[in-house]
Structures are given as C-alpha cells and as structure tokens.
Structure 1
Amino acid sequence: MAYAANVIRGDDPSTTKLYGERTAKTSCQYLLPHVTKSAKILDVGCGPGIITADLAKIASDGSTIGVDNSEGIIKQASTSFPDVPNLKYQVGDATNLKDFADNSFDIVHAHQLLVHISNPVPVLKEFYRVCKPGGIIAVRESSPSVVLFLKPDLPGIRQYWDRAMAMMPKIGAQTQAGIDLEKWAKEAFGTDGEKLVYTKTPVWNAGHTERVTGPAAAHAIQYGMATQEEMDQWAEAWKEWDAAEDHEWVFEAGEILCRKGI
C-alpha cells in the first residue's frame, strides 16, 4: 500500500489539498439517488472528510462514520464539521474493518481508495461483509494512467506524470484501478443475489505543485523518483499550469454500485 510505504502521507498538506475540493456532488453523484434520509453509512478512506460530511447531511436522520488509516487526517476531519451531529470519524484499516459487525451499514462507500491498495479484492470483501443485505456498496476509482485531457499540455507535467506512473506500482498502487474495478468487484461479490452496475466517468484533478515542492518533493527524491533538478523543472511546469486560465487535468474513472443480496 502506498501509505504503508510512507511515500504518501494521508495527513500531508500536499495530499489533503488534492482531496480538499472533493464533494459528494462532484465525486459520488452516481450514489446520491440511493442515499435515504435514514441511511446508516460507512465511508472508507475518508481523508479530510468532506464527502463524508455531505453524505451525513443527506442522511440526516441516519448516521455516518468516516474511516481512515491516518490518525492525523482523522483528527483534522473530526474538528472540521461541528454542525453535523450524526457524523463521526475514526481511525481504521480498510483491509480489516474489525470495529464493525457483519451487516451493519445501508451504504458502504469509498472514493479513490483502492488505487492506493496493492490487493483490493479483500478490501471489497470487507465492504460486502459489513453491508446489510439489500444495502449498497459504492466505489469510484480513477485510472491515473488514462489522462483524458490536460490543458495546458506541458512537457514538464507529462514527464512528471510518466515518472509517477512508473513509481506507483513499486509502492503497491494501482494505475488501472478504474478499469479493473468491475473485475475486482465480481471477484469479491460473486454473482449470487446482487446487482452490479459499472459506469465510466471523467474525474477532474487539482494540480500537483505541492507534490513537487517542499517536504513531499524531498521525500520523492529520497525514494528515487527524481533528481532535485527534475523536481525543480516539474515545479515550474505545475506553477505555469496553475497560473493558466481554464486549466484542466482529467482522468478516466470507473464507478460501481452493488446491491448486496438478501
């Protein structure tokens, strides 16, 4: 797992900035029609918790729990939404949701979690275990190797991203997560009694300036991703991208909705 290798820290500001613009509307629109007011929801790999809080507001008569393996990000999330009384966050491991009993949740949700996990099928099996019969498992994953659109399309960004894609498998990450999601889900859930819907959508991304500057860049250099000179060149490219009007960076994403058999 990328986080286990300590190459990517869940509570690193360079990481949380990338996740900070994600909302339920932008990141799990495919799920929202299925969220009832009384739903009991588990959001796994919740990060700073913005999507989690949005889901809790929709399920205002239910309860929502956000789980992440980073103590730092859970502390941040726990103090960020004081106006949402039916919401809580706790440290947990997606590969072993031991704090939760079988058949506990109406909805088990994850957004761009499996991309960071070397063996996603056991994680999906845990989602299935804690989901109630008749409940929904909803997962959205990007395929970061499939860049649909980059504007402005700068050589420095392309070089940086090619290097990142070469490094990701070495730290246990999945560059084809959105593409492989349906295959993983079928292996984890089987075909007896549940309905599986798979769709593809674009996912818009924030720039990576913070990943090629400061402590994150120093860590990547130490890990062998690049030289300092290369990092400096990539940082200039990302700064130019950030300053450009109407900049866009779009990946392909896959989404699944599975209703657990009764």
Structure 2
Amino acid sequence: MPSTANYVHGYQPSVLRSHTWRSAANSAAYLLPYITPAMNILDVGCGPGTITMDLANLVPEGSAIGLECESAQEVIQQAASVAQEKSIRNVEFTTGDAHKLPFEDNTFDITHAHQVLQHVKNPVLVLREMARVTKPNGYVAVRSTDFRGFAWWPETEGMDAWRELYLKVMRKNDGIPDSGRRLHLWAREAGLPRGDRMRKSVGTWCFATEEEVAWWSSLWAERLLESRFRESALKDGLVTETELQAASRAWKEWGASEDAWFLAWHGELVCHV
C-alpha cells in the first residue's frame, strides 16, 4: 500500500494503543461464524497483528497471514515477535500493496480487511484483488467505520469541530471517512456476488463505562497532537495548531463528563465468492 494508500494516523504509540486493543471478538465478530479450523486466511492491513493472531488461533489446522504497507516494517516485526512469544506457529507477517496483492489467484479461504478501505485510494480495486486471491466458494470480508455517523453525549461544539477537522484532513489525504455506508456499493462495482451471497451488517464499539471513556478520550486527545495526523493536518494549511489544540481539549473535556458516552459504528460485509 505504499503509493496507493495514505494512512493518515501513522504508527506512533498514540495510534497503536487502539490498534492493539482490537481483537477478533470486538472487531471481527461478524466473520467468526464462517471460519473453520483448516482455513487459510489473509488479513489485509493487519497493523500490529492482534486480529490476525486471533484468526490464526481459530484455524489450528490452517494458517493466517498479516499484510501491511512497506512503511510499517517496524510494526510488522513487532507483530511477529509477539506471535513468537505467544507460540502462535501458524501465523506470519509480510508487507505489500493492497492494490496489487503479492499472492497467486485462489490462495485463501478468507480474505479480510479491517478499517482499511477508508484509507486506500481505490477501494474497488482492493476488493477486486481480495476476491482474486480468494478461493472459489471462499469469503471476502471487510469492516470499515463511518466517522460521519459517530454519536456521543454530551454533545459539544468542540466535539463537532473535531469531527469537521477530521473529515477535512481525511479527505485531503484521499481518505473516505464515511466508508462504512459504502461497502456494498464498492463490492458491487468490484463485481462481487450480490443477493444471498452478500451479507451486510453493522457492528459497533460503545464506550460507556468510566474506564472505557477515559481510555477513548485520552487516546484521541493524544492522537491529535502526537501522531502523523498532526503533520497531515498542518500541511497545506488545512488546520492551525490552535485548532488542533482545541480539538484535543474538547476530547479531554468530553471524557471528564460523568455522562460521557460514545458510539462508533462500522459497516460490515461478507461476500461468498
């Protein structure tokens, strides 16, 4: 994904805090009913590999491969080290371009991507590539969030301003921040099966307890100032340092409310190819 994707957040610790929290249970539950023990799975855009390793554990007679962009070499190496520490022998990690997957046709039983299509320049081509490397009668599975659909309480002008800032930066960097509602359209354009061979669903992350709210708010407050997002936001005069600081404060203030509640929803799609 080097020249054809632009991951606006980067891979700094403020970003990986949320990525390493992700698991098959909280981020790929929609896919789990389709998995059987002998499957071979490709996880496109695997990040630190927590979901990939969970998938590998679900296919003890098969294998899982996590793929990331060339710029994420350090993250991939860390994922491989964690897998070795956990004695997960049927997983490996590699790099490559999601628009031109480095695998032969009909290689995998499941090809999966979590929160990837919102960051690539051509999501339809990525879906075609995922279908190409998937075996006949296998599954292409994607999940992608929708920032325009996020909801929270209390509603504040500061949080509204954060969302507008985020949407602006994402779009300037060729991202698609409302990708969750578009998955089925992209799948149709990619030529994937429709009707009863295409299952559409919605998954959620809800942050409601005091601990969850504190984690989620501090994560975003930090990410705005201490990740690649800051650099992306400031280049070309998209936003000012003052606006970034204000958005970070808005997250902290939201998280300090005893009534704080946050809903992030994700479009989910499983195509039986």
For the criterion TM > 0.5, the same-fold answer is yes
In structure 1, runs of 5+ residues without a counterpart are none
Give deviations 1:210-242, integer Å, cap 9, x for gaps: 222235465122442322222222222222334
Q: Who is 1:160 aligned against?
A: 162
Hey, what does 1:22 align to over in structure 2? Answer: 22
Q: How many residues align?
A: 258
Separation (CA, whole Å) in 1 of partners of 2:145 and 2:41? 22
Residue 142 of structure 1 deviates from its aligned partner by 1.1
Residues 143 and 176 in structure 1, CA contact (< 8 A), matched pair in contact too: yes
Amino acid at match of 2:117: L
Contiguous gaps of at least 5 residues in structure 2: 208-215
Q: 1:246 and 1:127, CA in 2 relative to 1: closer, same or farther beyond 3 A?
A: farther
Higher helix share: 2
Aligned partners of 1:62 and 1:86 also within 8 Å: yes
1:240 to 233, 250, 253: 253
Q: Structure 1 stretch 23-32 or stretch 161-170: which is displaced more?
A: 161-170
Q: Which residue of structure 2 lines up, in the alignment, with residue 77 of structure 1?
A: 79
Worse overlay, 201-210 or 249-258? 201-210
Structure 2 partner of 1:41: 41
**Change over 3 Å in CA distance of 1:55–1:166 after alignment to 2:** same
Shift of 1:200: 2.3
Does the alignment pair 1:151 with 2:153? yes
SS in 2 for 1:174: coil
Percent of paired sites with the same residue: 36
Counterpart for residue 63 of structure 1: 63
Cα 1:243–1:77 shift into 2, 3 Å: farther
In structure 1, the partner of 2:180 is: 178
Match of residue 101 from structure 1: 104
Picking from 242, 250, 263, the partner of 1:229 is 242
Shift in alpha-carbon separation, 1:247–1:22, aligned structure 2, 3 A: farther
1:214 aligned partner, one-letter code: E
Q: Tell me the residue number matched to 1:214.
A: 226
SS across alignment from 1:43: strand
Q: What's the TM-score once normalised by structure 2's chain length?
A: 0.85
TM-score by length of 1: 0.89
CA 1:179 to 1:231, structure 2 compared with 1: closer, same or farther past 3 Å? same
